[in-house]
Amino acid sequence: MVKILDTTLREGEQTPGVYFDGHIKLAIADLLDEIGIDIIEAGHPMVTPEIHEAVYQLARHGYRAKIAAHARSLQRDVDLALECGAQFIGIFYSVASERLGQVFRKDLNSAIDQIVNVIRYAKNQNPDLLIRYTPEDTVRSPFENVVQASCAAVEAGADIISVADTTGFMAPGTEHNMYDFIARLKDALAQSGHQPMIAVHCHNDRGLALANALDGYRAGAEIIDASVLGLGERAGIVDLAQLLLALKEVFQVQNNCRLEKLLPLYQLVSQYAGLPIPDNFPIVGQNAFTHCAGVHTHAAVQNPVHYQSLDPSLVGRNMSVALDHMSGISSVQWALDQLGLEYTTDLLKRILIHIKQIGQKGRTVDFHELKHLVEWCKKHPLK
């Protein structure tokens, strides 16, 4: 069964201006755990003492999910993660020749020595620790470097190799696609006698993060990274709700996640990240299950499947109809039925005229206003 790693608290805090206080981190982790997320990446303890404290608190909270800490390939970062009691540690280090030369002033072999020493050290400190090694910018690094470093990491004790599309470079169906990359990597590792779990971490720079992650899943990735609202560096990463729904509805993955908890989670994260959920955001956006055009509404009220490929009740939501200049008679009828109000065809027509006029001013009529409009139209028949 594919595992989900949520990194709202680590990658998500790499969104400019986003920081969650310790008690908010705990509230977010509570919901992630209730939903059934397998791994909660809680932060990089080296960054600030507050993040260290939050990782420490989350690791001791008794969640069903494993609590993960991020670490550079340095013993002092590993010590901090261990001090926090993290059950999972993600160690990253580049193996791209140019970056090694220009940024780290190292050659590949000394980089691999550093990775191996740190992983061996971490595993010796705690044999139960799950260790993930990420060759940063995996997909744009020389493939042979990735294989060499991954094999060495696994031999040193790494359980997971994460394939990071750090710049959102991959595109399904092209020469650079996640499916082929992961299939090729699994083959190369197997030829050396290694079968680590494979994780995928996909950035959304070109809007393809989810498509790439699902491509990786089809190739056998066992862990997929995501975050609430896709928060993360630049354009962020895979959105958690979209990933969970795609796995369930498109790939029939039965992981028993409590999807009805997604909306409260998104509302919480949105509030404390200071970033509103866009109205048209899939699954959790205000308009995600709202029909507007009269033609759509007419068909959708008969049977929502005509204009919905996702059942809103999966996430504890209901289908809705917006009342504005695009509405038709069936939109008004639906709304009055919802309110339990009686009407005649003539009244429906009169209300619709008003709704269209209001809609052209650039707003919708909500149920509260609709009640007033019904009263007005009853008393003011059209001449």
Using DSSP, state whether 29 is helix, strand or coil.
Answer: helix
Rounded least distance, CB 295 to Zn ion, Å: 42
Residue 366, burial from CB neighbour count under 10 angstroms (0-12, 13-18, 19+): exposed
Question: What residue number has its CB nearest to Zn ion?
Answer: 11
Q: Point out which residues pair with 237 in neighbouring strands.
A: 203
- In the set 296, 306, 325, 380, the catalytic residue is 296
C-beta of 242: minimal distance to Zn ion in Å?
17
Q: How is residue 345 written in tokens? A: 């065809």
Alpha-carbon distance values, 96 to 17, 106, 143, 149 (Å):
30, 11, 9, 11
Question: Is residue 291 annotated as part of the catalytic site, yes or no?
Answer: no
Nearer to Zn ion, 5 or 326 (CB): 5
Do residues 123 and 159 lie in contact, with contact meaning Cβ atoms separated by under 8 Å? no
Residue with smaller CB distance to Zn ion, 11 or 137 = 11
**Residues 171, 183 contacting (CB under 8 angstroms):** no
What is the number of other CB atoms lying within 10 angstroms of the CB of residue 191? Answer: 10
Nearest distance, CB of residue 234 and Zn ion, angstroms = 9
DSSP string spanning 39-89?
EEEEE-TTS-HHHHHHHHHHHTS--SSEEEEEEESSHHHHHHHHHHT-SEE
| Cβ atoms within 10 Å, residue 26 | 16
State the nearest-atom distance from the C-beta of 292 to Zn ion, in Å. 36
Least CB distance to Zn ion at residue 14 (A): 7
Please report, as ranges, the residues that interact with Zn ion according to CB under 5 A: 11
Specify the residue, 70 or 123, whose C-beta has the smaller distance to Zn ion: 70
Nearer Cβ to Zn ion, position 138 or 148? Answer: 138
| Residue whose CB is less far from Zn ion, 168 or 328 | 168
Q: Give catalytic residue positions.
A: 296
